[in-house]
Amino acid sequence: MKLVLAIDGSESSLRATQFLVDLVKGRDGAEVHIVNVQLPVRYLDLLSKEKQQLAERLTREHGERETAYAREALTEAGVPFHLQVVIGEDPATIIVQVSKKLDCDLIVMGTRGMATIAGLVLGSVASKVIHLAHTAVTMVK
């Protein structure tokens, strides 16, 4: 079973992590792909090459910090995982593209993320993932 765990560091994504750990713990053959999408730095092309590289490195490090809880929880549960920190404009589309590329069976994510403007019931990223996904999606409140 291949799963995508979409993480953004929100409380909701922490609960999604625990849900996924409980789901796959003790199951042989579970393959978890943690996906974290970071928005690109604006006007990056105006910076020197060195500053562009620094901005990208810092952005990826931020994504790694946002996934620390998930990585620790999966490691403690003995669940193997792969981490992808992706820099892009549209988190929902990227999550679905990664899931499709890896031929995953399930996308697990929180219902509300870190965005400053969120939907009334579901966050905008969660709602878009549901609409774009080619596979099952589990939203964790």
Q: In what order do the strands lie in the sheet containing 81-87?
A: 81-87, 31-38, 2-6, 106-110, 136-140
The string of pLDDT tens digits covering residues 3-45 is: 999 999 999 999 999 999 999 988 888 999 999 999 998 887 7
CATH number assigned to the domain covering 2-140: 3.40.50.620
The whole-number pLDDT of residue 46 equals 80
pLDDT attached to residue 121: 46
Q: What is the pLDDT of residues 47-104, one digit of tens each?
A: 788 988 999 999 999 999 999 999 999 999 999 999 999 999 999 999 999 999 999 9
Instruction: Report d(CA 45, CA 118) in Å as an integer.
Output: 30
Domain boundaries, the chain: 2-140
> Is this prediction's pTM over 0.75?
yes
Which of 50, 56, 124 minimizes the C-alpha distance to 91?
124
